[in-house]
Chains A and B, each alone.
Chain A
Amino acid sequence: MSDPSIFVMHIAFRIGVYGIAALSLNIEYGYTGLSNFGKAAFLMMGAYTAAIAVENGLHPVIAIVLSIVVAGFIGLSASLFALKFREDYLAITMLAFAEISRLILRNFDDSVRALTKLITGVEGYTNIFGGVHGKVVRSFVSIPGDYRLYNIVQLTLVYGLLASSYVFVRLLSDSPYGRVLRAIREDELASQTLGKKTWVYKMQIIGLGSALAGLAGALNAQFEGYISPESFQPHLTFAIWMMVILGGVGNNLGVLLGATLVESIEAIALFVKSFFGYLPFDPVNIQWIFVGASIIAIIAFKPRGLLEERPIKTPAVEVARIGYTKG
């Protein structure tokens, strides 16, 4: 790696992207207790939507909006079935859903080709998703020649959207709405007897969480410049879970810290791999062995994560709390 700034840039960008993904899982699992093990699928849907949108000459802003809408809509549709399940069934179903989505994407073009031939008898040509070969994705930012400025614009884009996502998630979680989410997480039946339409909340949250994941997927795709179904393996879902559990379930700053740490481990592995050339071991293997072992250690010794969940802060409650501590 000739220019260390490219490397640092790469890591900084990924932290921003996975920060958004970690926030999205935090509203689902951290606040609402929804064990979505299919996160990779929603990043994938956002990524492919953005890729196809820019490929067809749409403006990057429209591409971003489309990936949010498409991923959110698919999440909402999946939730119609998935939310009838108890948590372990939801986890298995979502994980299988992600793997199946990947399988379908990989085989989509071939299948369309085969069906066209079957129906019309003509050997057609379809190349929407690129099958196993994946897709080249045009960048949202186009500044020929000035790599420095390009990087600055990319970072501004991702961190601007991360900050907006953070504010959005904070507004949701520190509100009476967020209080209901936590009540659903603690005891869904009791929430229902208090008159909460829990399925409405759960659908909204899966929809919003998937939309945010779609945004993260779109941003990453245009930055990396290439996507394929193999980029969205269960490893990715697991890494996002790791960020949330390590950083602190139900703590928005915590999960951002988690994203930073997990991506830093990834960065070290990439750095070692590219810097040292031949090694007797593959740093990527060591990275995943380390990540896998650490999550077990965290669950055993620090299950609430590095930054623990705090009570809900709304203006009225804060005023009362201050009055209480003074009185």
Chain B
Amino acid sequence: MAILKVKRLSKSFGGLKAVDSIDLDVEEETITGLIGPNGSGKTTLFNMISGVIPRDSGEIWFRGERIDGLKPFEIYARGIVRSFQIPRLFWKLTVLDNMLLAARGFNGESLVGAIFKRGGWILEEKRLVDKALDILDLLGLSDSAFKPTYQLSGGQMKLLEMGRALMADPKLLLLDEPTAGVNPKLAYSIFGKIEEVRRAYGTTFFVIEHRVETLFSYANWVYVMSNGSLIYGGKPSGVISDSRVQKAYLGDIHAA
């Protein structure tokens, strides 16, 4: 069953069609990849799904509900969580604080709750701290829980970004280049963690990735974008032999 459906979605910037009438489905509990040369519109697509930028036309459906036009926090509340290409962490806060900030519907975060219902949120936070430490443990970050975030290595930041996303019990995780800037070995282990999480929590992953080989070892389904259009959707094994992909993209892989 498709958890996310995108129908004839378009977005232009000035005269440029960044995303041009795209249709795609993401099946539940899969790792679905999204690849394409730089500037092919992948991040714009993610921005529209997460509500960060408005669409020009088209529809986005999530678990049977239309979500285009909703605000980012409303989309987040429905269970779509995204990570950014460059991790957007809160650098001066601790790793644990970053994790706790991602919890959804935490009553201690309201003004009245914080001051007058201390008993309530103190217990609630205790649960969240335990959950955060469990996830950090799974990702191998528990030693850094109380460090300020800017002290993490590049790979650890990527993992924290994913860990933070997991705190929100997402149904769908949008990951924008989870392995950018880390060495190839670490890239495999990051995807290993993604697969572990998928099994443990039943999360669906929609992943933009440039490391095609790493992605293909784990992805169930792959979409390819070029110049704002979708040029392929199918099993990873079929990508290499597709003539349109070869034309638009394969040169780029070898160049990279």
Q: Tell me, yes or no, whether A and B come into direct contact in the complex with CB atoms closer than 8 A.
A: yes
**Total interface residues in chain A, CB < 8 Å:** 34
CA of A187 to CA of B148, assembled, Å: 15
Contact with B along A194-232 (1 / 0, CB 8 A): 111100000010000000000000000000000000000
| Complex contacts, A190 vs chain B, CB 8 Å | 84, 88-90
Say what secondary structure dominates the interface of chain A: helix
**Total interface residues in chain B, CB < 8 Å:** 42
CA of A172 to CA of B125, assembled, Å: 15
8 Å CB interface, A86-113 against B: none
Say what secondary structure dominates the interface of chain B: helix
Q: Are B76 and A194 in contact (CB under 8 A)?
A: yes
Question: Which stretch of B32-40, B105-113, B191-199 is in the interface?
Answer: B105-113
Contact A193 B122, CB 8 Å, known A172-B115, A186-B92, A311-B97: no
| Complex contacts, B102 vs chain A, CB 8 Å | 194
| Complex contacts, A168 vs chain B, CB 8 Å | 115
CA of A319 to CA of B96, assembled, Å: 13
| Complex contacts, B94 vs chain A, CB 8 Å | 311
CA of A107 to CA of B125, assembled, Å: 53
| Complex contacts, A186 vs chain B, CB 8 Å | 90-93
Contact A195 B115, CB 8 Å, known A189-B88, A190-B90: no
Query: Is there a chain A Cβ closer than 8 Å to B126's Cβ?
Result: yes
Question: Which of A180, A183, A193, A309 is the one whose CB lies under 8 Å from B50?
Answer: A193
Contact with A along B64-105 (1 / 0, CB 8 A): 000000001100110000101000111111101100111010
Question: In the complex, which of the residues A176, A187, A315 has the most CB atoms of chain B within 10 Å of its own CB atom?
Answer: A176
Query: Is there a chain A Cβ closer than 8 Å to B146's Cβ?
Result: yes
In the complex, what residue of chain B is closest to A167 when comparing beta carbons? B115
Query: Is there a chain B Cβ closer than 8 Å to A16's Cβ?
Result: no
Query: Is there a chain A Cβ closer than 8 Å to B224's Cβ?
Result: no
Query: Is there a chain B Cβ closer than 8 Å to A254's Cβ?
Result: no
Query: Is there a chain B Cβ closer than 8 Å to A299's Cβ?
Result: no
Q: Are A320 and B145 in contact (CB under 8 A)?
A: yes
| Complex contacts, B90 vs chain A, CB 8 Å | 182-183, 186-187, 190
| Complex contacts, B146 vs chain A, CB 8 Å | 311, 321, 324
| Complex contacts, B239 vs chain A, CB 8 Å | none
CA of A214 to CA of B38, assembled, Å: 53
Contact with B along A299-327 (1 / 0, CB 8 A): 00000000001011011110111001000
Shortest Cβ distance from residue A34 to the other chain B in the assembled complex, whole angstroms? 15
- 7 closest Cβ pairs, A-B complex: A176-B108, A177-B114, A195-B76, A190-B88, A175-B114, A316-B125, A186-B90
On B, residues with C-beta under 8 Å from A are 50, 52, 72-73, 76-77, 82, 84, 88-94, 96-97, 100-102, 104, 106, 108-111, 113-115, 118, 121-122, 125-126, 128-129, 133, 145-146, 148, 164, 168
